[in-house]
Structure 1
Amino acid sequence: MTVAIVLSSTLLALVLAIALVLPSITSPTVPFGVRVPPQHADDPTVVGQTRIYRWRVLLSGIATAGVGVVIYAVTGETLLLPLSVLVLDGVWWGCFFLANHEIRAAKAAGGWYKDLHQGIAVDTGLRTDPPRFPWLWLAPALIITAATVVIGVISYPSMPEMLAVHYGANGAPHRLAAKSVGTAFSLVFVQIGVTALLVGIAAAIFRSRPDLDPAHPVGSARWYRQYMSLGAKALLGLVAMIDLGMLGSSLLMWTGTVTPWAPLVVVLPILAAVVVVVVILARNNRERDDAEEDTGLIHRDDDKHWRGGLFYINREDHALMVPRRFGLGWTLNFGNPRAAMLLAGVAAMIGLLITLRFGG
């Protein structure tokens, strides 16, 4: 019970901190997903909406935590605690969309792009001389997965006849299943599936379309190459921690261990990795000024391809992934048919894993 409270509180605090910090680490020319000229980055509407957004998020976080505590005190049900994180996440994006709407309205009313020279910068070297994929960073995940398989094979004869396939917040098993290869190695399948998925995403990052600054194309291209490599390495590091959590959970299942700290075995490595990834990407999320001469061009106004500043839909763009406008990392081009195929594949894999994990 204490573990569930600690984990839920930690997740709530992490989501709240990310929501409050994101406006500061996002490029000033895309506040809340709206493309604006550099001279309007500090427009009173942008500054005001940033302040209002933070107050809304902060008060929502406090209210969500308070409601979660009250509900838990009345019901005593720890399952409701993680729901407060989902509620805060939904409220957070609601606050984002409100700010996005107000800035877009001010931009249209003020004609911020009138008589400005718009341009596009392209790094053709990403196709002719792409950066090398950091395969070495995949080694920890493969080693952990291989170790899980070896330990499972060795331990299989001595495993209990009934295996705990699901643990509650108090560390006690909630569901038992008869020992079989499918049951005992269900989390190994999770490791393999998650590793394959995230490695595929990391590879797609290396083929993503960069959003280069036409005012400083050389420095922008140099920064993007470094950021792209850093993002792939961070993702592969996260894969390793997820696999480590699955190894810990497998050991609990194979040995029949019952402990109130069981949730930490799975969640703690993953949570720590997420924090590290967020910090690393946040520190490098913006292009650094390298004193390159300004070309006089600005980003083209391409808001029509961004629904609400979050979802990129452009059927004429063949890129599968593009940099996010608000937040960290990359997002799918939902106008690309391959995006639908990827999402369908992910859904199918999740369904298969759930069947393997919880099926009869």
Structure 2
Amino acid sequence: MTVAILVSAALSALVLVLALLMPAFNSRTVPFGVRVPAARATDPAVLEQTRLYRIRVIVSGVVAAGIGIALFAVTAEPLLLSLSVLLLVTAWYACFFLANHGIRAAKAAGGWYDGVRQGIAVDTSLRTDPPRFPWAWLVPALPVVAATVVIGVLRYPSMPESLVMHYAADGTADRVAAKSVWTAFSLVFVQAGITALLAGIAALVVRGRADLDPARPAGSARWHRRYTMLSAKALLGLTAAIDLGMLGSSLIMWTGTVARWSALVIVVPILAAVAVTVTILARNNRDRSEGEDTGMVHRDDDRFWRGGLFYVNREDSALMVPRRFGIGWTLNLANPRVLILLAGIVAVAGVLVTIR
């Protein structure tokens, strides 16, 4: 029970801090997912919407925490505390959409793009000399997967005939299954699937389309290369942490023993890796290069971004593009290949839900 409370509190705190700081991490020319000229980045409408957004996020965090605590007090079910995290994430995006709508309205009413020179910058060297996939950063994850397989094979003959597939919040077993290759190695299959999936996403990130600033084409191209490699390395490092957690879960299943703090020992490294990954990407999420000024601005491409979050552009062959709000990358939902990637994610998630 204590573990569930601590994990829920840590997740809520992480989400709340990230939500409050996110406007400062994103590019000044896309406040809350709305493309604006650089001269309008500090417009009173933008500053006001940023202030209102943070107030709404804080209020939402207090309300979400109150709901979670109230449900826990009534039901004594620790897992319901995670509902506060879900409510906070939902409220976060609601606050975002309100700010997005407010800035879009001010942009349209003020004619912010009237009389400005719009352009597109392209770095052809990204085609002839693209960033290299950081294979060395995949090395930590692969031995963990291999070790899990080897340990499982060696322990299989001595495993209990009935394996515990799930533990309740108080540490008692609430679902068991007969020993078989599928049940004993179920988490190993998921572990391998997650590793392959995240490595594939890292490869797509490396080849993702650059969103270069036409006002600073050279500087933004250098930043894109650095950020691309940093994103891929962070994702692969997170993969290794998740694999370690899956190894710990497998050992609990195979031995049939669980200590009071077992879940915390497994979850904390993963949460720490998530926090480190988010911190690194957030600190480097904005292009801060200076010294260039071509006099041009990004073209007004809001029509391709639904609500400032979802990229839908049939004219763009890219599968992944930089996010306009938040950190990392997002999918071009108009690209048919997205269905294949989403199918893989859904398949891994479905297997994980089924076996746990």
Interval of TM-score (by shorter of Structure 1 and Structure 2): over 0.9
Say yes or no: does 1:347 pair with 2:346. Answer: yes
Alpha-carbon displacement from aligned partner over 1:220-268 (angstroms, at most 9, x marks no partner): 0001000000000000000000000000000111111122223223321
Gaps (5+ residues) in structure 2? none
The question of whether the paired residues in 2 share the 8 Å contact of 1:214 and 1:299 is answered with yes
Output the amino acid matched with 1:319. A
Instruction: Name the residue aligned to 1:51.
Output: 51
- Offset at residue 290 of structure 1 (A): 3.7
Output the CA distance in 2 between the equivalents of 1:354 and 1:79.
16
Output the CA distance in 1 between the equivalents of 2:133 and 2:196.
15
Instruction: Name the residue aligned to 2:247.
Output: 247
User: Which one is further off, 60-69 or 244-253?
Assistant: 60-69
Output the CA distance in 2 between the equivalents of 1:289 and 1:353.
43
Residues 177 and 265 (structure 1), Cα distance of their counterparts in 2 relative to 1, 3 Å cut: farther
Instruction: Name the residue aligned to 2:271.
Output: 271
Say yes or no: does 1:284 pair with 2:284. Answer: yes
Instruction: Name the residue aligned to 1:151.
Output: 151
Output the amino acid matched with 2:298. H
Output the CA distance in 2 between the equivalents of 1:167 and 1:137.
33
The question of whether the paired residues in 2 share the 8 Å contact of 1:208 and 1:322 is answered with yes
Instruction: Name the residue aligned to 2:21.
Output: 21
Output the amino acid matched with 1:326. F
Output the amino acid matched with 1:333. N
Identity of aligned residues (%): 68
Alpha-carbon displacement from aligned partner over 1:151-171 (angstroms, at most 9, x marks no partner): 111111111111111122222
Output the CA distance in 2 between the equivalents of 1:345 and 1:272.
26
Instruction: Name the residue aligned to 2:293.
Output: 294
Task: Report the TM-score, using the length of structure 1 for normalisation.
Answer: 0.97
The question of whether the paired residues in 1 share the 8 Å contact of 2:131 and 2:207 is answered with no
Output the CA distance in 1 between the equivalents of 2:197 and 2:262.
26
Output the CA distance in 1 between the equivalents of 2:158 and 2:143.
24
The question of whether the paired residues in 2 share the 8 Å contact of 1:4 and 1:170 is answered with no
Instruction: Name the residue aligned to 1:319.
Output: 318
Say yes or no: does 1:124 pair with 2:124. Answer: yes
Task: Report the TM-score, using the length of structure 2 for normalisation.
Answer: 0.98
Say yes or no: does 1:186 pair with 2:202. Answer: no
Output the amino acid matched with 2:285. N
Output the CA distance in 2 between the equivalents of 1:304 and 1:225.
27
- Offset at residue 74 of structure 1 (A): 1.5
Q: What SS does the aligned partner of 1:214 have?
A: coil
User: Which one is further off, 94-103 or 161-170?
Assistant: 161-170
Output the CA distance in 1 between the equivalents of 2:270 and 2:201.
18
Output the amino acid matched with 2:303. K
Output the amino acid matched with 1:30. V
How many positions carry a matched residue from both structures?
Answer: 356
The question of whether the paired residues in 2 share the 8 Å contact of 1:170 and 1:261 is answered with no
- Offset at residue 353 of structure 1 (A): 4.4
The question of whether the paired residues in 1 share the 8 Å contact of 2:194 and 2:348 is answered with no
Output the CA distance in 2 between the equivalents of 1:208 and 1:252.
39
Residues 28-39 of structure 1 mapped to structure 2, 5 A cutoff: 28-39=28-39
